[in-house]
Amino acid sequence: MRFPATLLLLIALGLAVAAHARPFTVVAYNVENLFDLDGVAGYDDYQPARYSRAHALTKLRNIAKVVARFEDGRGPDVLMLCEIETDATPGKNPPDYETLLAPYARMSLDEMLGAKFDKRIADLPAEALLLKAFQDAGLTGYRVVTGDGVKPPAGERAPEIKNALFTRLPITHTRSHPTTQARAILEVQVNVEGAPLFLFVNHWKSGASDPETEPIRVANATTLRRRLDEILRADPHADIILGGDFNSQYNQKQRYPHMKTTGLNDVLRSQGDELAVRGPEHDLYNLWLELPPPERGSDTFRGEWGTLMHLIITRGLYDFRGVQYVDNSFAVAKFPGLNADARGLPARWTFEPPAGAGFSDHFPVVAKFTTVPDNRTDRWIELKNPSIDRGGPPPPVARSEPPRPPPLPAVDLDRIALDPKLLPAPAAIRDDAHKGKIFRIEGRVAAGERLAVVVNGETYEVWSYDAPQRATLRARFKEGATMRFFGELGVFRERWQFVVRDASWVK
């Protein structure tokens, strides 16, 4: 069978376009404090008396398990990481990770942190140990860039934690930008099939809801915005991805209207009108707006979802030159039974078992990209259901309080609650496997200022994130009284507790 010449030409052109396309995935992940084992740490929890080799091994393995969930076990080509320990005992020269790990090529991480542990392994920086954990899990080919060795602004001490980038894409340029009272912003330029792509890894000052710390985030945003303006003045269609933990909500201006100026929305000018980036006034789009409001959440605080992890992209990711965003590919990487607990919340890291357990207090966020050969900045990708929320000031409607984030997942308490009386032994409640699970409790109120109950001979504090509810419970239940309620088991500062999430949980 013979095909017309024009059809053959179209097929050839189609194959040529496909051959040039280079799909890849970008993940931003706050790993909740990954520290090395040199015995020197700025945080008390990571001193040798509390943080063991077994803890480090669990933490490293668990991060690798999450990363292996992307790209069918291969891992993303770009991994933006927050909360990697700043090396307290660095070498004279920047680390060459391939050379550092070469002596351990035939040794597993288990062996390195077990019987074969020595001072040389103790001196390896946290990101080198993580690279080894990745290699053991089949996650290979990564190059590593960190913000080590960057002097903080005058009068400030170096942060205990830093940002890092793991990537398989060829690196053409790196740079770090010190910023006020936060981790240096890491800039890495990579080459994607000949197309330049700028990556910025961020971890701004903590305290999203705190107006006292918002001016610091404004300063962090100013550092980033100045560099973006330099790049975009040279090329308004530059391909740029901003990622990491901005310690800000995607709608910071709307959610906290008492803040006159916000770093994310006012200074950085992150916004949610996906079509607006085609014009001259808005050059950034926040990918959180791709999701329906009930799905916008990567972390929780005081019973509410937050969106502190971000992936924000420039207009160049929407044209037909270089790198292009894959429409509606943004997602929260929540894996039930792995990094998500029974209620769908982040399975946070804990030191409590001998070897520790859990993952992080943040879910990763992920998006997909590809390359296009057209070299056209005058064409735009076709969008399905583009968002129009600009994420700016609240609409001019009287409000008694700022907009609320989506509620935490509803649960059928009678169906899922555990009964302590049915556990195999009285002490079985205090088991790491039960953390985050809900119990049906009937106990006697214990003596003391803090509200607590005695269950199976053990004392547990009773806590609520709602201060008025805590006061009501304390006033209602006196020492010796019987208290019946549903409580989520947890540990706070080494004290076991039951958290009452809602007034309806108390009988």
The pLDDT value recorded for residue 429 is: 87
On whether residue 396 sits in a domain, the answer given is: no
Q: Is residue 388 part of a domain?
A: no
Q: What is the pLDDT of residue 201?
A: 98
Q: Indicate which CATH number applies to the domain containing 458.
A: 2.40.50.330
**In this structure, are 189 and 268 located in the same domain?**
yes
Counting as low any pLDDT under 70, the low residues of the chain are 1-20, 390-411, 425-427, 493
CATH number of domain containing 263: 3.60.10.10
Global pTM exceeds 0.85: no
Domain limit, last residue, from 380, 400, 426: 380
Q: For the segment 150-206, what is each residue's pLDDT rounded down to a tens digit?
A: 888 888 988 999 999 999 999 999 999 999 999 999 999 999 999 999 999 999 999
In a domain, 386, yes or no: no
Instruction: Say if 70 falls within a structural domain.
Output: yes
User: Are 375 and 476 contained in the same domain?
Assistant: no
Q: How far is CA 87 from the centre of its chain?
A: 21
The pLDDT assigned to 7 comes to 46
Q: 418 lies in a domain?
A: yes
Looking at residue 89, its pLDDT comes to 85
CB < 8 Å & 24+ apart, contacts of 86-90? 86/42, 86/148, 86/158, 86/159, 86/160, 86/161, 86/162, 87/36, 87/38, 87/125, 87/126, 87/148, 88/38, 88/40, 88/41, 88/42, 89/38, 89/40, 89/123, 90/125, 90/148, 90/149
Residue 108 token pair: 């597993």
User: Would residue 394 count as lying in a domain?
Assistant: no
Nearest alpha carbon to residue 293 among 413, 182, 387, 223: 387
What the block records as the tokens of 342 is 């029974």
Q: Are residue 278 and residue 366 in the same domain, yes or no?
A: yes
In a domain, 405, yes or no: no
Answer yes or no: is 390 within a domain.
no
Domain extent for 267: 15-380
Whether residue 336 is found in the same domain as residue 448: no
* Residues 392, 265 contacting (CB under 8 angstroms): yes
The amino acid that residue 133 corresponds to is A
Same domain, 357 and 453: no
User: What's the structural domain count of the chain?
Assistant: 2
